[in-house]
Amino acid sequence: YTSESYPSLKRDPKYSEISSEHVEFFKGILGGDTAVLDGVTRDAGDDLEGYNSDWMRKYRGHTRLVVKPKSTEEVSKVLEYCNDNMLAVVPQGGNSGLVGGSVPVFDEIVISTRRMNNIRSFDEVSGTLVVDAGCILEVVDNFLAGKNHIFPLDLGAKGSCHIGGNVATNAGGLRLLRYGSLHGNVLGIEAVLPDGTIVDDLSKLRKNNTGYDLKQLFIGGEGTIGLITAVSVVCPQRPKAINVAYFGVESFEKVQQAYIEAKSQLSEILSAFELMDGLSQDYVHQVTGNKRPLEGRHPFYCLVETSGSNTEHDNEKLEHFLESVMGSEIVSDGVLAQDETQVRSLWGWREGISEAIGHFGGTYKYDLSIPLPELYSLVEETRKRLASAGLVGDDDSHPCVGVVGYGHMGDSNLHLNVLVRRYAREVEQALEPWVYEWIKKRNGSISAEHGLGVAKKAYIGYSRSETMIRLMKQIKDLYDPKGIMNPYKYI
Ligand code: FAD
Ligand code: 2HG
Ligand code: ZN
């Protein structure tokens, strides 16, 4: 049978359907009751909905079974049994992914990491943290705050996403500019392969040049070759001083000049340089009702954060930066956060965009790496394209509400979001593959940080060569010869 969310996909009959015998096996090893979300869940009515449906309510699967192992050994038993019985599975963390990768397409079993949530160890000298995959990012960061350290990743979904999910998507987030990617910060991984093999590569070493670095395959692998059960991560000292400036800019040309100035004047203390266009801030204002940080309206806004060890020194530097860019008319107006509450509230204007724009219905999301000089042209061209197709307008007869652009300017990463009243074929057809062709022409990436999942499955060829795709398929076949791990997704 086919799925209404994925009209072009058909359930592969090679996978078994779940039987009561399977459920009995899982109950035997995990415990739990069919009616309770505990260990094994089956037909638990509404409770399954949260596992079947993604954050955007765009992708929906039909799983009948969610298993929640508590340990690596339990994951190993579950996967081995699934592999022997041709039962397809989807690893799921906080289910905050934005490409439909974390939910089943048909009736794949969801393996949730929810109950694997122990902080295993932390070494204050090296900053090395070892955690179970199901730990929530914010919980881990709060734990680290008590130890004067910080997790080297932060993002808007921190209250729900799991560390395992972050690593599986190689999430980038708000401070990649400062702390770098998880490919560098993750020191070790413990994972389970589909046949139940436990891969114990939970190294705590910064340096280890002993052959292929296989853990990297799990980082950003999106659950297609194995299930990550634990990770060790190197965490920096928590900065003593965090300062934030928020400012309005009249053109994208000037945004680029402001970025050059920020790098040059703030250098070692710069920890984020984020971009928000005027429309994105209008929507945040409209939905939250919060007072705007600046009077008047500007076509672009930037949020600059510094993280350092001396509040006075950092404050002075940021103040001087703002004065200088305003003096040279690069920036029209700006404000500095005076305390922690203001830091949080200014960040809200950036971090709150995804949630605010979700209030209008749905969103077509494009998460793109684009050479900086052309980063914003795509937003303008998309607006023109949808307008000339008659798809965007103020009333219900138009599917599109508007087009916003924002993102991690410091990483050349644009989030192009098309807000719709309802998901509609004609909008998708106007945007895809046009957006991907646009990206390919500029040698960009069709997924900077969210991954491919099912959303970009058909488009990987716009960013990867045939040779690269063939090598990826060979790796998939080697690790998951029966193809039970997260099927129907990008590989
Ligand atoms: P899930 O959504 O549960 O899963 C994501 C993928 O990883 C799926 O393919 C799943 O099968 C796989 N997976 C999950 N756990 C495991 C595991 N233990 N082993 C193997 N595979 C696994 N992303 C960014 O990069 N930067 C951002 O700034 C950012 N901001 C966001 C803000 C909001 C409000 C939201 C909703 C999302 C945002 N994201 C961002 C998307 C981001 O990918 C996720 O938030 C996060 O990294 C996914 O973690 P998760 O635990 O929710 O994973
Ligand atoms: C962000 O940077 C996230 O806010 C989400 O990556 C982007 O919702 C999006 O498109
Ligand atoms: Zn992002």
User: What domains can you pick out in the chain, each with its CATH number?
Assistant: 2-113 (3.30.43.10), 119-234 (3.30.465.10), 241-353 (3.30.70.2190), 361-450 (3.30.70.2740)
Q: Sheet harboring 89-92: ordered strands across?
A: 40-42, 65-67, 109-112, 89-92
Q: Residue 339: phi, psi to the nearest 5?
A: -155, 180
Residue nearest to atom 25 of ligand 1 (CA): 171
The residues facing 237 across adjacent strands are: 149
Half-sphere exposure of 470 (CA within 13 A, CB side): 3
In this model, does residue 44 exceed pLDDT 70?
Answer: no
**Residue 16: DSSP 8-state:** P
- Three-state DSSP state, 163: helix
Confidence of residue 2 (pLDDT cuts 50, 70, 90): very low
Res. 379: pLDDT tops 50: yes
- Distance CA(339)–CA(343), nearest Å, equals 6
Token pair, residue 11, equals 């359930």
Cα 469 to Cα 463: distance, rounded to the nearest angstrom: 10
Q: What percent of the chain has pLDDT over 90?
A: 92
One-letter amino acid of 381: E
pLDDT classification of 457: cutoffs 50, 70, 90: very high
Residue 1 scores a pLDDT above 60: no
How much distance in Å is there from the Cα of 385 to the middle of ligand 2? Answer: 22
Other beta carbons within 10 angstroms of residue 213's beta carbon come to: 13
pLDDT at 199: 98
Q: What is the dihedral of CA 323, 327, 330, 332, to 10 degrees?
A: 80
The pLDDT of residue 47 is: 76
Nearest residue (CA) to ligand 2, atom 4: 351
Rounded Cα gap, residues 134 and 237, in angstroms: 23
Residue from 74, 169, 216, 229 to probe ligand 1 pocket by mutation (most atoms less than 8 Å from CB): 169
Question: Does the pLDDT of residue 51 top 50, yes or no?
Answer: yes
Q: Check pLDDT > 80 for residue 372.
A: yes
369's CB contacts (< 8 A; 6+ apart) are 411, 412, 413, 414, 439, 444, 445, 448
Query: What is the structure's pLDDT at 132?
Result: 98
Two tokens at 275? Answer: 């971009």
Residue 412 has pLDDT above 70, yes or no: yes
Tell me, in angstroms, the distance from the centre of ligand 2 to residue 482's CA. 34
Does pTM top 0.95 for this prediction?
A: yes
Q: Where is average pLDDT lowest: 19-23, 38-42, 294-298, 320-324?
A: 38-42
Which among 15, 22, 119 has a CA at the least distance from the CA of 66?
22
Which residues' Cβ are closer than 6 Å to ligand 1? Answer: 55, 90-98, 101-102, 113, 133, 155-157, 161-162, 164-166, 168-169, 171-174, 222-223, 227-228, 354-355, 449-450, 453, 486
| pLDDT, mean of residues 460-465 | 98
DSSP 136: B
Q: Which tokens go with 434?
A: 């046009």
Q: Which phi and psi (to 5°) does residue 294 adopt?
A: -120, 150
The region, left, alpha or beta by phi > 0 then psi within -120 to 50, assigned to residue 375 is alpha
The mean pLDDT value for 286-315 works out to 96
Q: How far apart are CA 282 and CA 432, in angstroms?
A: 26
Is the ipTM value over 0.85, yes or no? yes
Predicted local confidence at residue 34, as pLDDT: 44
| Residue whose entry in the numeric block shows the structure tokens 């999430």 | 171
Summarised one tens digit per residue, pLDDT across range 100-115 is 999 999 999 999 999 9
Residue 36 pLDDT grade (very low, low, confident, very high; cuts 50, 70, 90): very low
pLDDT at 4: 60
Residue nearest to atom 2 of ligand 2 (CA): 407
- Centroid of ligand 1 to alpha carbon of 262 (angstroms): 30
278's CB contacts (< 8 A; 6+ apart) are 297, 298, 299, 300, 301
Q: What values do phi and psi take at 132, rounded to 5?
A: -65, 155
- Tell me the C-alpha distance between 175 and 304, whole Å: 11
Q: How far is the CA of 415 from the centre of ligand 2 (A)?
A: 6
